[in-house]
Amino acid sequence: MTLKERIDADIKQAMLAKDKARLQALRSIKSQILLAETEKGGMDGISQDTEMKLLTKAAKQRRESAELYAQQGRQDLAEVEMTELAVIEQYLPQQLDEGDLRARLVEIIQRVGATGPSDIGKVMGVASKELAGQADGRAISLTVGALLNNTDF
């Protein structure tokens, strides 16, 4: 079952359950998928990789919006964003915890032969591809920087 089919089925369930918050988040995801399909110009859908990128981007947008609303004292809007984020995260792969992320990055650093901070770009290129959807880009970047600055990994 493709992501679009799962979203369609879940939209129907949310409508039957009268779950407005979930329905709004699902419709948002579906609209992003439809936009991506029309950009490609084909009716054959989008790749799974593109779907994951869309979901990751949507999750990041919700997270940043929630932080911004919280800073501005708009807790009501921050809660709406966090609710939508929770729905989006259900479709993303399991996120790596800090220990697993560090271990995977150490393995990538050793594989590419990075020796210091000057190799951050080389490591980030590989890490971003391999860990797409499994970890936040900011967390990957911060951990790679810390590991390369502290060369006893």
Q: Judge whether 41 and 33 are in contact, CB under 8 Å.
A: no
Q: Answer yes or no: are the C-beta atoms of 133 and 56 closer than 8 Å.
A: yes
In the chain, what are the domains? Answer: 3-89 (1.10.1510.10), 98-149 (1.10.10.410)
Residue 3 and residue 91 in contact, taking contact as beta carbons nearer than 8 Å: yes
- pLDDT of 44 reads 67
What would the two tokens of residue 79 be? Answer: 């809660």
Q: Which two tokens stand for residue 63?
A: 């997270």
Radius of gyration of the chain (CA): 18
Per-residue pLDDT of the chain (153 residues; tens, 9 = 90+): 788 889 999 999 999 999 998 999 999 999 998 888 888 665 667 888 788 888 888 988 999 999 999 999 999 999 999 999 999 989 887 888 888 888 999 999 888 888 888 888 888 988 888 887 788 788 888 888 888 887 555
Stated pTM of the model: 0.70
